[in-house]
């Protein structure tokens, strides 16, 4: 069996990621800035990958932040470090990530909105109905889903 190519990115998650969205208009919600880093080696691996699977919403935010700041081609990123306050919610155009492995997130969370933007709100609502029915565990250290 061959090893699946992988690499690591870093996002120093702050409490803002877990704060519920209280605004009626989600566009008014502001994320707290969080530090991230993406090394030259990681950027090279990602740029040469056939498919990019983000493991976690934090990895997704790093990759989508980095590609928006990159001056390279559409599916390429540059190594960088900095801060991101990227809030991903529907409708959002993803530019680099092909699949996402993530937990089941709590209602009104920025994380649930990111997942809904990636897979579609109605699809996620149906998946969550099934998860509740099957007694899946939600939040950190709970069950997870792979969204292709």
Tens-digit pLDDT profile for residues 65-76: 999 888 877 789
pLDDT, residue 140, reads: 67
The verdict on residue 136 lying in a domain is: yes
pLDDT digits (tens, 9 = 90+) for 95-120: 999 999 998 888 888 989 999 999 99
pLDDT, residue 148, reads: 92
Q: Is the peptide bond before 91 cis (omega within 30 degrees of 0)?
A: yes
Q: How many domains does the chain have?
A: 1
The verdict on residue 115 lying in a domain is: yes
pLDDT band at 59 (very low <50, low <70, confident <90, very high): very high
Segments forming the whole domain that contains residue 113 = 10-147
pLDDT band at 85 (very low <50, low <70, confident <90, very high): very high
- By C-alpha distance, which of 32, 39, 36, 31 is closest to 10? 36
Q: What is the CATH number for 100?
A: 3.40.1780.10
CB hemisphere CA count around 40 (13 angstroms): 0
- Which residue carries 């935010």 as its tokens? 61
Q: Is 106 helix (H, G, I), strand (E, B) or coil?
A: coil
pLDDT, residue 19, reads: 77
The verdict on residue 5 lying in a domain is: no
The predicted model scores a pTM of 0.87
- Which residue carries 């998946």 as its tokens? 127
pLDDT digits (tens, 9 = 90+) for 2-56: 778 899 999 898 777 777 888 889 889 888 889 999 999 999 999 999 999 999 9
CB hemisphere CA count around 132 (13 angstroms): 9
């Amino acid at each position: 069996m061959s090893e699946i190519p992988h690499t690591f990115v870093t996002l120093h998650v702050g409490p803002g990621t877990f704060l519920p969205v209280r605004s009626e208009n989600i566009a008014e919600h502001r994320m707290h800035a969080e530090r991230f880093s993406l090394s030259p080696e990681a950027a090279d691996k990602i740029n040469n990958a056939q498919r990019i699977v983000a493991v976690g919403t934090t990895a997704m935010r790093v990759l989508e932040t980095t590609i928006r700041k990159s001056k390279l081609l559409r599916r390429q990123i540059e190594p960088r470090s900095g801060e991101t306050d990227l809030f991903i919610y529907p409708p959002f155009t993803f530019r680099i990530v092909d699949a996402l492995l993530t937990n089941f997130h709590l209602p009104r969370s920025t994380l649930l909105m990111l997942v809904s933007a990636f897979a579609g709100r109605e699809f996620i609502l149906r998946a969550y109905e099934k998860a509740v029915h099957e007694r899946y565990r939600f939040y950190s250290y709970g069950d997870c889903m792979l969204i292709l």
